[in-house]
Chains A and B, each alone.
Chain A
Amino acid sequence: MSPNLVFVVTIAALFTVGVYLVLERSLTRILLGIVLLGNGTNLLILVAGGAAGSPPLVDVQSDRPMSDPLPQALILTAIVITLGLTAFLLAMAYRSWQLHHHDEVQDDVEDRRIVRLAARDERAFEDDDTESEGESLDEEAASARDETDEGEAFDGAPAERPPPRTDHTHGKEGR
Chain B
Amino acid sequence: MTDWSWLVPLPVVLPLSAAGLALALYRRPRLQRIVSLATLTIVAVVSAALLVLADSGPVVVEVGDWAAPVGINLVADRLSALMLTVSSVVILCVLVYSLAQGREDGERFAPISIFHPTYLVLSAGVANAFLSGDLFNIYVGFEILLAASYVLITLSGTTERIRAGTIYVVVAILSSVLFLVAIAAVYAAVGTVNLAQLAIRLPEVDPGVRLVLQSMLLLAFGIKAAVFPLSAWLPDSYPTAPAPVTAVFAGLLTKVGVYAIIRTQTLLFPGGQLDDVLMWVALATMVVGILGAVAQDDIKRLLSFTLVSHIGYMVFGVALGSVHGWTAAIYYVAHHITVQTALFLVVGLVERFGGTTSLDRLGGLAKMTPVLAVLFFVPAMNLGGIPPLSGFLGKVGLLEAGVELGTPVGYALVVGSVVTSLLTLYALIKAWNKAFWQSPPEPLPAHHVPAHMVVPTAALVVVSLALTVFAGPLYAYTGRAAQSLAERRPYIEAVLPDGQRGEGESQHAADETDDHDTDGAATQDGGDR
A81-B147, A88-B169 known, 19 other contacts, Cβ within 8 Å:
A22-B174, A41-B181, A44-B185, A50-B525, A50-B527, A74-B193, A77-B136, A85-B150, A88-B147, A88-B150, A88-B151, A92-B154, A99-B157, A100-B159, A108-B236, A109-B236, A129-B360, A141-B160, A163-B158
User: Which residue from A41, A49, A67, A125 sits with its C-beta under 8 Å from B295?
Assistant: A125
Contacts of B356 in A (CB 8 A): 136
Inter-subunit contact B522/A45 (CB<8 Å): no
* B230 proximal to A (CB < 8 A): no
**Contact digits for B117-148, partner A, Cβ 8 Å, 1 yes 0 no:** 00000000000000000001000100100010
| Known A-B contacts A88-B150, A130-B441; A53 and B158 likewise in contact (beta carbons under 8 Å) | no
Contacts of A68 in B (CB 8 A): 522-523
Interface size class of A (residues with CB under 8 A): 35 or more
User: Which residue from B180, B298, B434 sits with its C-beta under 8 Å from A137?
Assistant: B298
B144-195 contacts to A, CB under 8 A, are 147, 150-151, 154, 157-160, 162-163, 165-167, 169-170, 173-174, 176-177, 180-181, 183-185, 187-188, 191, 193
B393-450 contacts to A, CB under 8 A, are 434, 438, 441
A39: min CB distance to chain B, Å: 10
Contacts of B180 in A (CB 8 A): 41, 45, 78
* B520 proximal to A (CB < 8 A): yes
Contacts of A88 in B (CB 8 A): 147, 150-151, 169
A67-115 contacts to B, CB under 8 A, are 67-68, 70-71, 74, 77-78, 81, 84-85, 88-89, 92, 95-96, 99-100, 105-106, 108-110
A43-58 contacts to B, CB under 8 A, are 44-45, 47-50, 52-58
Complex Cα distance, B173 from A52, in Å, reads 31
Inter-subunit contact B298/A136 (CB<8 Å): yes
B459: min CB distance to chain A, Å: 29
Inter-subunit contact B166/A99 (CB<8 Å): no
* B521 proximal to A (CB < 8 A): yes
Contacts of A159 in B (CB 8 A): 158-160
Complex Cα distance, B520 from A96, in Å, reads 48
Contacts of A34 in B (CB 8 A): 170, 173-174, 177
Which residues from chain A sit less than 8 Å from chain B, CB to CB?
1, 3, 22, 27, 30, 34, 37-38, 41, 44-45, 47-50, 52-59, 65-68, 70-71, 74, 77-78, 81, 84-85, 88-89, 92, 95-96, 99-100, 105-106, 108-110, 124-125, 129-130, 132, 136-138, 141-142, 157, 159-160, 162-163
Which 3 pairs, one residue from A and one from B, show the smallest C-beta to C-beta distance?
A50-B526, A53-B522, A48-B188
* B2 proximal to A (CB < 8 A): no
Residue of B with least CB distance to A15? B181
User: Which residue from A30, A105, A129 sits with its C-beta under 8 Å from B438?
Assistant: A129
Residue of A with least CB distance to B157? A95
Complex Cα distance, B166 from A50, in Å, reads 37
Inter-subunit contact B158/A106 (CB<8 Å): no
Inter-subunit contact A136/B358 (CB<8 Å): yes
Contacts of B297 in A (CB 8 A): 125, 132
User: Which residue from A65, A85, A130, A142 sits with its C-beta under 8 Å from B160?
Assistant: A142
Complex Cα distance, B526 from A44, in Å, reads 12
* B501 proximal to A (CB < 8 A): no
Inter-subunit contact A48/B527 (CB<8 Å): yes
Inter-subunit contact A50/B240 (CB<8 Å): no
Complex Cα distance, B134 from A60, in Å, reads 26
Complex Cα distance, B522 from A67, in Å, reads 7
Can you list 21 A-B contacts (CB < 8 A)?
A1-B527, A22-B174, A34-B174, A34-B177, A38-B177, A41-B181, A44-B181, A45-B187, A53-B522, A54-B522, A56-B522, A68-B523, A71-B187, A81-B176, A88-B169, A92-B162, A105-B166, A106-B167, A141-B160, A141-B163, A159-B158
B327-384 contacts to A, CB under 8 A, are 356, 358-360
Contacts of A37 in B (CB 8 A): 174, 177
Residue of B with least CB distance to A158? B159
User: Which residue from A89, A96, A108, A162 sits with its C-beta under 8 Å from B232?
Assistant: A108
Inter-subunit contact B147/A85 (CB<8 Å): yes
A156: min CB distance to chain B, Å: 11
Residue of A with least CB distance to B296? A110
Residue of A with least CB distance to B143? A81
Contacts of A157 in B (CB 8 A): 159
Residue of A with least CB distance to B188? A48
Complex Cα distance, B298 from A163, in Å, reads 24
Complex Cα distance, B169 from A85, in Å, reads 9
Contacts of B140 in A (CB 8 A): 77, 81
